[in-house]
Amino acid sequence: MDLQKFSPWNWFRSEGHEAPAAGEARGGELAPLTNMHQELDRWMDGMMRQFGMPPLATRFGEMPELLRPRLDIAERDQDYLITVEVPGVEEKDITLSLADNRLVIEGEKRQETTSQEDRYQRVERSYGSFRRLLDLPADARLDGIEAAFDKGVLKITVPRSGEARASRREIPING
């Protein structure tokens, strides 16, 4: 069993806990509307599951799961490698930024233009904006982050400083 997968750092600590957007409940002033919205979301998710479709969202204000790009994070000796799948998204529609020691990955999957003659029998692809927020570990060197995009895959390399790695040591187990 590869225990490296179970790294103690929580890369997703801030995801889903961002500042409320305009119009969201602040201090309970919109609580009744928020509760009604959550109940409608639960009802819609149940209806969609009956037809074999994935739920659109699980919590009020959360990005639909259909649009959330999947990613892998690999810890290596000299750096972290973050690989993000963004099929159907062009490089020009992706933005990377740093905010308070967090890596922000934003983008948009745009729908191709269709003619009025198109009569869809089924629509399974999803379109819209997405955002992933990754909390960077203490040993990440923010000034050396690089990114490359190829064939719908975004690869982000985050170099590591030597200080945090040097403080890590193995503890022997006496038996």
Whether residues 51 and 97 fall in one domain? no
In a domain, 74, yes or no: yes
In a domain, 174, yes or no: no
**What is the pLDDT, as a whole number, of residue 170?**
72
Whether residues 58 and 84 fall in one domain? no
Spatial CA neighbour of 75 closest among 148, 168, 143: 168
Whether residues 87 and 40 fall in one domain? no
In a domain, 2, yes or no: no
Domain boundary among 62, 81, 97: 62
**What is the pLDDT, as a whole number, of residue 117?**
76
Q: What stretches of 10-164 adopt beta strand conformation (E)?
A: 71-75, 79-85, 94-99, 102-109, 128-135, 146-150, 153-159
In a domain, 45, yes or no: yes
**What is the pLDDT, as a whole number, of residue 3?**
45
* Domain extent for 48: 11-62
Order of strands, sheet of 94-99, starting from the edge strand that comes earlier in the sequence: 94-99, 102-109, 128-135
Q: Hey, how many other C-beta atoms are within 10 angstroms of the C-beta on 119?
A: 5
Per-residue pLDDT of the chain (175 residues; tens, 9 = 90+): 444 445 456 887 777 655 444 334 444 556 677 777 777 877 877 777 777 666 665 444 444 555 788 999 999 999 999 999 998 899 999 999 999 889 999 998 877 766 667 777 777 777 788 889 999 999 999 999 999 999 999 999 999 987 655 556 677 788 7
Domain count of the fold of the chain: 2
Give dist(CA 109, CA 131) in Å, integer.
Answer: 11
Whether residues 79 and 107 fall in one domain? yes
In a domain, 29, yes or no: yes
Spatial CA neighbour of 112 closest among 88, 93, 95, 92: 88
Q: Residue 104 maps to which CATH number? A: 2.60.40.790
Spatial CA neighbour of 133 closest among 13, 9, 2: 13
**Structure-token pair, residue 159:** 């170099």
Angle at 54 between CA 49 and CA 58, to 5 degrees: 95
In a domain, 3, yes or no: no
In a domain, 157, yes or no: yes
DSSP 23-60: TS-STTTTHHHHHHHHHHHHHHHHHHHHTT---S-SST
Whether residues 145 and 108 fall in one domain? yes
